[in-house]
Amino acid sequence: MKITRWITALALALSLACNSKPATTPSTETNDSSATTSPQTLNLYTWADYIKPELVERFEKENNCKVVIDTFDSNEAMFAKISSGATGYDVIVPSSYMVQVMARQNLLMDLDHSKIPNLSNVDRDYLKIAFDKDMKFSAPYMLSYTGIGYLASKVGEVEPSWNLFADSRFNARCTLLNDMRETIGAGLKFNGFSLNSTDENELAKARDTVIGWKKNIAKFENEQYKNGIASGEFVLVHGYSGDILQVQEENEDIVFVLPKEGYSIACDDLVVPKSAKNPELAFAFINFIHDPDVAAENTEYISYLCPNASSYTKLSAEILANPGIFPSPEVRAVGEVLNDLGDEIVKYNKIWDEIKAAQ
Amino acid sequence: MKQRLSLPFVMTLAVLFFFYIPMLVLVANSFNASKFGGSWKGFSLIWYETLFQDRHVWHAVKVTLIVALSATAISSVLGTISALALHRYQGRLQRMHQTLIYAPLVVPDILVGISLLLLFAALGIQLSITTIILAHTTFCMSYVCMVVLARLQDFDHSVLEAAQDLGANQWVTTTRILLPLIAPGVLSGALLAFTLSIDDYVITFFVAGPGSTTLPIHIYSMIKRGNMPIINALSTLMISMTFSAVWLSQKLAKRRILS
């Protein structure tokens, strides 16, 4: 009796499983074959809307391949996934500091420069401050900056300086980023030190500067400052160039400046993981991105700067005149890249706690 | 005489307010010409227009639906079977079975996600839409099982015995008596599984492979430089579809009662 019951249950399970099968398997199989088994597929792992769609179509046509784009939302999440053994991606677009971590963990393939001749177009001035100066395993993709956005009608003519955050005219009408490295970095730069300083005395000075600003600002804010400056609630914000340029499209009163004391440059890089299935196509893709015409077109679309020196002459006058995308050479010279500090980061954690606790 | 506002009435109003006001704000913002929703810049359908041209969003929608429908179908079957087994048979083995079914409900998502990824990596299974379906089935199954088990608590077994007395064999009693009686439980379990699968982010992120970005992953990723208002537009479409489905089913149910 019992055995027949088991058999019935099993038969029931099988019949139901068979019923549900046709609905699911065909679609998954077609998806699989297009994504993985075809040799001519480039799997790109990047941020959403981070490449001009027409350029992807052009690359597909020129190389007779298919580009599959997947997206992630933070470097850390992407790293957790890749370092746990997720495979199948041919080109990944992490930020520079994460490239350092991935390189240390031996996750990245060396770039074959003979297959990427266009790397000679990459801006040498940028490479001087980059972490991977010889582009051993990464090619820069897009640069963005952290600076100051303000309402010209409220702030007036000012010199671009971090000291604006100490100006009592903007008391409770300005915000600093709620980001340890960026905000302590601003304090370090104001005092004339490196963004990547690990010297206790320098950090203490930066701490005192930021605590001074803290008394003047409305709050530490990473997201809402965009709405705040768009609606005029805030008149002066510490923010990322990409964000502030987007808000500028709606409120022409907003100006973006890079402080004269120095600021941070963030770069997202193109890397090929060791687990890539199609490294040849990955190198072809990096080469394509650094074609001067393609780089210029991509810069115009994304409003970040692709550091490709040969593409600069092809950029529109509008982009060249925009300091949030294309800073003048003198301004560019004082920018610095945030490095991964490894274990030294505890010093920053300590100082950040002190800043947050200060009254 | 003025009636005093009772506490339950105020509570109900407050709860409904918190449920529906965010949705109304979202719907309103999907027609706002402003990108940031900070201020009203006039009525516009631009986000709907952009949405229909964004092939990445639509691909993500397609993947999400394939995953949700497959995971729901498989987990409904498996969950119902395990609920029947847990209800029918007692013993030490079944107690262990019950614990194992419960576990995915309490284990944090991040742990499930990363351990599944490690398993797939160790077995050399290429991450794809199939691995997402497998992962979703594992946690959806537990929910379906719990819902069906609750339904079985007040199931009258004498009905089955009566059917057997009248000469129905095992197959007939199962398909004609048992399944129709527990169908509402299976259905609500399946609906729960569907909703859980469609908005899961943490587990999906770890087990998604090339070409299988789902809608929640895509939306999170748009934080960097995406066009957020098109998500308002997409959500508005989804909300209106859900509400019309609910309205339609209520209307159909009413007609059946009347006739």
The reply to whether A157 and A249 lie within a common domain is yes
The reply to whether A93 and A211 lie within a common domain is no
The reply to whether A348 and A251 lie within a common domain is yes
Residue A29: per-residue pLDDT: 37
Q: How confident is the model at residue B38 (pLDDT cuts 50, 70, 90)?
A: low
Of A23, A230, A249, the CB nearest to B69: A23
Cβ neighbour number for residue A147 with a 10 Å cutoff: 25
Inter-chain contact A23–B209, Cβ cutoff 8 Å?
no
Inter-chain contact B34–A86, Cβ cutoff 8 Å?
no
Residue A16: per-residue pLDDT: 41
Count of domains observed in chain A: 2
The reply to whether A237 and A284 lie within a common domain is no
The reply to whether A158 and A280 lie within a common domain is no
Residue B229: per-residue pLDDT: 82
Tens digit of pLDDT for each residue in B114-149? 999 999 999 988 899 999 999 999 999 999 999 999
Residue A55: per-residue pLDDT: 95
Tokens of B125: 């299974």
What is the secondary structure of A256-310 as a DSSP string?
A: EE--TT-EEEEEEEEE-BTT-S-HHHHHHHHHHHTSHHHHHHHHHHHSSB--BGG
Inter-chain contact A85–B121, Cβ cutoff 8 Å?
yes
Inter-chain contact B225–A73, Cβ cutoff 8 Å?
no
DSSP B95: H
Residue A37: per-residue pLDDT: 45
B63 in contact with A, Cβ within 8 Å: yes
Compute the count of residue pairs across chains A and B with CB atoms less than 8 Å apart. 161
Mean pLDDT to the nearest integer, B174-181 = 88
Q: CB–CB of A42/A285 below 8 Å? A: yes
The reply to whether A238 and A303 lie within a common domain is no
The reply to whether A87 and A229 lie within a common domain is no
Whether residue A129 is contained in a domain is answered as yes
Inter-chain contact B206–A80, Cβ cutoff 8 Å?
yes
Residue closest to A163 by CA, chosen among A143, A181, A189: A189
CATH number given to B56-221: 1.10.3720.10
Residue A35: per-residue pLDDT: 44
The reply to whether A138 and A148 lie within a common domain is no
Long-range contacts of A30-35 (CB under 8 A, 24+ apart): A31/B63, A31/B66, A31/B128, A31/B129, A31/B211, A31/B212, A32/B126, A32/B128, A32/B129, A32/B130, A34/A66, A34/A68, A34/B211, A35/A68, A35/A88, A35/B128, A35/B209, A35/B210, A35/B211, A35/B212
**CB crowding A175-198: b at 16 or more within 10 Å, else e:** bbbbbbbbbbbbbbbbbebebbbe
Residue A192's region, left for phi above 0, alpha for psi from -120 to 50, else beta, is: left
Residue B248: per-residue pLDDT: 83
Residue B199: per-residue pLDDT: 85
The reply to whether A130 and A271 lie within a common domain is yes
User: How many residues make up chain A in this entry?
Assistant: 359
Taking contacts as CB-CB distances below 8 angstroms, the residues of chain B near A250 are: 34-36, 41
**Best of B39, B224, B228, B231 to disrupt the A interface by mutation (most A CBs within 10 Å)?**
B224
Long-range contacts of A10-14 (CB under 8 A, 24+ apart): A11/B171, A12/B81, A12/B174, A12/B175, A13/B77, A13/B78, A13/B81
Residue A25: per-residue pLDDT: 35
Spatial distance between the Cα atoms of A295 and A166, rounded to a whole number of angstroms:
39
Inter-chain contact A73–B63, Cβ cutoff 8 Å?
no
Inter-chain contact A81–B117, Cβ cutoff 8 Å?
yes
CA atoms within 13 A on the CB side of A101: 18
Amino acid identity for residue A40 in this structure: Q
Q: How confident is the model at residue B62 (pLDDT cuts 50, 70, 90)?
A: very high
Mean pLDDT to the nearest integer, B192-221 = 90
* Spans in chain A with pLDDT lower than 50: 1-4, 6-38
Indicate whether B243 pLDDT > 60.
yes
Taking contacts as CB-CB distances below 8 angstroms, the residues of chain A near B78 are: 13
Taking contacts as CB-CB distances below 8 angstroms, the residues of chain B near A72 are: 205, 217, 221
Tens digit of pLDDT for each residue in A167-200? 888 888 999 999 899 999 999 999 999 999 999 9
Of B78, B84, B218, the CB nearest to A48: B218
Mean pLDDT to the nearest integer, B160-165 = 88
Tens digit of pLDDT for each residue in B68-107? 999 999 999 999 999 998 988 888 888 888 888 888 888 9
Of A12, A73, A86, the CB nearest to B221: A73
Tokens 């010093």 label which residue? A347
Q: Which domain holds residue A277?
A: 41-142+266-325
The reply to whether A159 and A220 lie within a common domain is yes
Q: What's the mean pLDDT when you consider all of chain B?
A: 87
Smallest Cα distance from A140 to chain B, Å? 17
The structural domains of chain B, with segments of one domain joined by +, span 56-221
